[in-house]
Amino acid sequence: MKDILYAPWRDEYITSKVEGCVFCHASTNDTKDDELHVLYRDEHCFLVMNKYPYTPGHFMIIPHKHTDSLEDLDPKVWLHMSSLAQKGVKLLKDGFNAQGVNIGMNLGSAGGAGIAEHIHMHLVPRWNRDTNFITSIADTRVYSTDFEKIFKKIKSLIPKYI
C-alpha cells in the first residue's frame, strides 16, 4: 500500500487553469505581474517564478513569442535570453547567496518539458547538500521557505542585477 501525501496548496493549480498557453497569459497580462509572479519584463522576454520550484528561488526566462521551437526563435531574442541568464546567475549567486546554479531547457514533451508549447529557460539556485533522503527515496521535494517571501526578495534584487 502506498502512503498518501496531501498537498492542498496545489488545489489552486488544479482548479484554476487558464485558457491557452499559461506563458502567453503571463506575457500579455502585465497588470497582473505580482499575482502571476512575474519578476521582470522587457520587449523580448519576461522572468517568472516557477510556481512549483525545484529549490527556493527557481525562476524562468521566457520569450514573449509563442514558439515550441528554439531553432525558429529570432537570434536576437536568443542572445537576449542568454544575457538575462548571465545576469540571473549573478543575481542568484551574489544577491540570493546560491552556491551554484543549474540552467536548463527541456525542449518538447519527449525532452521533458512540462509546458512544451512555449520554450523557456530554467535558472535553479543550488546549495551544497540541498537534497535529502525524501527527494531520493520518496520522489518528493520539501520547500523550506515561503514562496511569496522568496518572490518579493528576488523581485527586490532585479533593479540591481537585471
Show which residues are catalytic: 120
Non-local CB neighbours of 128 within 8 Å, separated by 6+ positions: 99
- What string of DSSP letters covers 37-98? TEEEE-SSEEEEE-SS-SSTT-EEEEESS--S-GGGS-HHHHHHHHHHHHHHHHIIIIIT--
Specify whether the CB–CB gap between 102 and 124 falls below 8 A: yes
The amino acid occupying position 105 is: M
